[in-house]
Structure 1
Amino acid sequence: MKPIDKKLVQEKIDELAGKELYVHLETTNGAYASHKNQGFFSVGTFLRNARINYVQGKITGPGPFRIGLELEGGWAYAEGLTDWEVDDNNQVLLAGHDPDGRLAIAFQLSEKPFRK
């Protein structure tokens, strides 16, 4: 993965607007924090292969970045994104890594379902 280039990511978001896509959204902090501090309140999210079709999308912030996708009935939103790539399957893979390089968030878009 490479550091996010806002212009290139925005171009890709614009290119995918209006298409039926699959989204993967995952957040984590428990695997890195809860074993060191039993009082730490761990949270996480895992959503894979949910179908979406967004009207418009935008990447904002100075970095780490935020991406918001306006759906017909609401919004999909992710923040803390630092890195990205488009893989050989044309899947847009965005991730947020903490200062130690550990994954904190993954936000991915694909025209085909992600592997299960």
Structure 2
Amino acid sequence: MKSIEIEQVQNVLEGFINKEVYIHLETTNGAYTGHFNKALNAGVYIRNAQVSFSQAKIVPAEIGYRIGLKMNLGWIYAEGLTDWEMFEDTKLLMAGHDEDGRLMVALEISETPFSF
């Protein structure tokens, strides 16, 4: 993966606008991040949610970047993203890693469903 370059990622995001796409969104402070406070356990995992969004925006955040996808009835957003990679010209993977390289958040967008 390479570090996010805002203009490149924005261009890729715009290529998914008004298409039926599949989303994978995951946050964790569990197995990957067991070094944090054990009293707080929060996470999100959703895979193969089929959505369409009319706007996509990447902006700097306190750590990394925040990406928002505007849907008809709301938003999807992920914050703390630091790295990205494109696969097969139809799958965008963005991830946020801490200073030691541990995964904190992942957001993927694909024109085809993700495998299990």
Which digits, 9 at most, give the CA deviation of each residue in 1:20-75, with x for residues without a partner? 000000000122227x754x211111000000100101000165000001000000
Contact 1:26 1:107 in 2 (8 A): yes
| TM-score calculated relative to the size of structure 1 | 0.92
Counterpart for residue 24 of structure 1? 24
Counterpart for residue 60 of structure 2? 61
Is 2:3 the partner of 1:3?
Answer: yes
Is 2:95 the partner of 1:92?
Answer: no
Counterpart for residue 80 of structure 1? 80
How large is the Cα RMSD of the aligned pairs? 1.5
CA change 1:37–1:69 in 2 (3 A) is closer
| CA-CA distance at 1:13 after TM superposition | 0.9
| CA-CA distance at 1:89 after TM superposition | 5.4
CA change 1:53–1:28 in 2 (3 A) is same
Counterpart for residue 33 of structure 1? 34
Aligned partner of 1:51: which letter? Q
Share of identical aligned residues, percent?
A: 46
Aligned partner of residue 42 in structure 1, secondary structure: coil
| CA-CA distance at 1:90 after TM superposition | 2.1
| TM-score calculated relative to the size of structure 2 | 0.92
Is 2:47 the partner of 1:48?
Answer: yes
**Distance (whole Å) between structure 2 residues aligned to residue 6 and residue 99 of structure 1:** 20
Contact 1:19 1:54 in 2 (8 A): yes
Contact 1:33 1:42 in 2 (8 A): no
Matches within 5 A, 1:96-107: 96-107=96-107
Structure 1: 4+ residue segments shifted above 6 A:
none
* Structure 1: stretches of 5+ with no match in the other structure: none
